[in-house]
Every structure is written in C-alpha cells, then in structure tokens.
Amino acid sequence: MPKRILIIGAGEAGRMVVREIVAHPEIGYEVAGFLDDQAALQGKTVEGVPVLGTCRELIEVARRTPLDEAIISIPSAEREVIRRIIGLCRDAGLPLRIVPGLLEIIKGSVGLEQIREVHPEDLLGRETVEFDEAALSGAIGGRRVLVTGAGGSIGGEICRQIGRFRPANLLLLGRGENRIYDIEYELRNRFPDVRIEAVIADIRDQRGLFYLFDRCRPEYIFHTAAHKHVHYMEAFPEEAVINNIFGTANIIEVCQRTGVERLVMLSTDKAVAPKGVMGATKRLAEYLMVDGSAKTGQTRLITVRFGNVLGSRGSVVPLFISQIRSGGPVTVSDSEASRFFMTLKEACMLVVQAAILGRGGEIFILRMGEPIKIIEMARDLITLHGLRPDIDVPIKLIGLRPGEKLRESLSAEGEAVADSSHPQILTTRAAVPAGLDIRQALQRLKELVAGGDAKGIKAFLNEIIPDAEIDL
C-alpha cells in the first residue's frame, strides 16, 4: 500500500512536491490532499489533488482521512505558523517533514530526497540569508586562510564554508588536538583539492604565533578562539582575560607585524552592556580591534557581533534536546529571558561575508529579527519531539546564573547602526571610551591576573567599560 501524504501548503512548493510524487510512483507515495489557508482554494483541486481544508482543520482532516505523514511546504512560513502546525501534527499523531527553504526552491525544483525532518532551526521561522558566493569565491579563492579555534563548532563551520571557495591553503589552529584531528579529517575528505594544514598552537603564545605566521604567511585570519561559557568565566575571570583579551591582542599584533591582509574577529551580543566577565572581555577585545584599526598598516580589522547560535557547543538547544530525551525536566533560567537566535550556517556565512565587506574598524551585525523567549524555544523543541510541554516533559525555572542577563541587545547605547552593502547585514562602529589608554589597561589586567585577583578583575572591567554591570 502506498504511503498517504498530506501536503500543508498548496503554493508552488507544494505543487512541486505533488509533481515529484506523480513522476516517481516507485517510491510508494500517494498524495491524499492539501491543506491551505487561502479561501479561494477551499473545495478546489490543485494539480489534481483536493484541498481538504485549512491548516487549523488539520486534526479534523486527519480523523476523517487515512493519512501516514504530513509535509510542510510553506517555505516562507513565519515562526508562529510552523509552531502551530507542529503542535497540530503532534496532537493528530501524524509524522511530519518539511521541504527546503525558499532559496533552494528558487535555485531548483524540490526533489523528494530534499524533503527532511523538521530541524530546530526551522523554528526560527525566517529565511536563511543568501550571501554573495561569487564575490566570496573571488576574494577567498587562491588565498591562504587561517582559522583560530578551528576545532570549535563555529570555527569548524567557518572552515567548511571557506573550503567551498577553494583557498590555496586552509590552516586549522587550535589547542585541542582531538578536535583539530576531527575537523582536519573531515575537511580533507570534503575538499580533497584544498591544502589543509592542522596547527596545534595557543593564541596566548605570541612568540609561537610570530613563528607560525612567518612560516605560513596567512592572508586572511578568522579569529574564533575564545572562552564563551558565561558561568565558567564568572568563576575563572583570569582565564577569560588571558584568552579573550590577551589572546586577541596577540593575534592583532602578529597580524599587523606580519602583513596579514584581513583579520575578522567574532564577538557576541553579550559584549553589549555586559553583565558578566565573558561579555566584558569580548567588549574589551572589540576595543582592541578599534584601537588597532586606528594605527597605520595594511591589516583590516573587522568584528562580527551576533547572538546565540543554534546547535553550537554549550548552547541551550543541544542541552534542551538532551533533557527532553532523558524525560526532563527542561531547565530554563527565567520565564521572561529572551535571546537572539541564528543558525550555525548563517552565523558562519556572516563572518565570511564580513571579511570582504569590511574596510577596517567596523562591527557587522546580522538582521536577526525579534528575540525569542527561551521558554518558548524549550516548548517548541518538546513539541518537535512529539511530546506535550508541562505534561509529558516538565519545564523547571532555575533562575539566572551569575553573569547572565534577562535580555540581550546587539548594539550598545550611542552606537549608530546603519545598513551595509548587504541587505541582511547591519554595520556600526565601537568607540574606545574617552580617556581609556588601552595599553595601560592591558598592563593593569596583567597585574591583576598575576595576583589571582578575581574580584579586582571584575571591578576593573566595570571601571573601564562604561555600561558594564558585573557583580563582584
């Protein structure tokens, strides 16, 4: 017996799915009908398939019509629509899959092999950003590119994106040899024509960096290496300063002294009005980039600031999924806590795009839409697993941890945000606070680190960053 399919959305994407199923009877699919909210389509047929009702009638349609699976074919659907359909399919006991995004459809017809399970990133309810791949290929192709923190989830994805543009050499720098081994092995198989080189090194070792850069002569640097876990950095502020500040200072100096063409540093929305040490150290790293840009030299220093990345190590989504699969509870800090979310690919393509947009000294920000409440993301993920929030899987409020904020912002007070040449990317410029001597600040931080003065480090960061509010 063929598997009976309900297609949600009778637009062009849904019609493509029908045509694919009709053209391939060997796969054993049969389209039972469409659901669509357009009043003009009710009671009509599309591609010879009846429109059985609206999306909100899904449960009723599933009761009266034998169905085996539903497919969402609304590529431009907003987040609330996706959430509602997932919940209805769960309540109807109907397995659910989804077609690719609109950009994939524009570039080519939907193939049945492209229809996939619903992923957490689909819950963002907005289109994946399209980037200027021709310009990126022209800029990066044939170049020597080095990525710090290449063994991390973001650093590794940047390497995957860069590899597509055929650099002459891709250097993977990291301290953890096991993670570097994994990404090197993957990239060598994925890009056999690209020269891949693993580099076990530490950004805190300036002398070692000079030796490496002198030998390899990288032209583009993507600096992703950093400590990012908020609560760990509250407990170990010395490590945050050494890695996020001194490590970045080392990278900047080595780039400028060895003639690197472009340095792109990753920052975070937690650097804006920082409440924790991690965000404050990244804010000071932004100051270092601004200060370095004011100096003469050929290196363009470019910063990219973005929010939470779905699926990155340590982010809430993998944690929630693990908790859901264990039966809960799913732990949420506060019912009002919200964050900006973006997909891993979006974040990394933004970083790569910024490498060719930047003239030096800018901060680039992706248009990320409205922040999403963390508790809503938790409920969506529970629903996505076919379970009921607060019934099948409990949600437990545990309170904000040290260094965490209720809400994040992507731009600081007084920063003028403007459009860039890319429609989905904004730009601003950070300013070093008046009267702050960067070199003196670094020297003072070295003294505090050497003395193991955690409280002194926090107090000093509060002193030199105007909008910082770190608890001592």
Q: Are strands 330-332 and 308-310 parallel, antiparallel or unpaired?
A: unpaired
Which residue among the candidates 3, 44, 107, 270 is catalytic per the annotation? 270
Of the candidates 344, 355, 357, the residue with the CA atom closest to the CA atom of residue 218: 355
Number of Cβ within 10 Å of residue 204's Cβ equals 15
Q: Are strands 96-98 and 116-117 parallel, antiparallel or unpaired?
A: antiparallel
Number of Cβ within 10 Å of residue 100's Cβ equals 18
Distance between first and last Cα of the chain: 67
Token representation of residue 114: 């492209």
Token representation of residue 108: 């080519």
Report yes or no: 276 and 402 within 8 Å, Cβ to Cβ: yes
Mention every residue, 6+ apart, whose C-beta is less than 8 A from residue 59. Answer: 88, 91, 92
Q: Respond yes or no: is residue 455 known to be catalytic.
A: no
Rounded to the nearest angstrom, the gap between the alpha carbon of residue 293 and the centroid of all alpha carbons in its chain is 26
Of the candidates 413, 438, 414, 412, the residue with the CA atom closest to the CA atom of residue 291: 438
Number of Cβ within 10 Å of residue 346's Cβ equals 23
SS3 label, residue 321: helix
Cis peptide before 329 (omega within 30 of 0): yes
Active site positions, annotated: 270
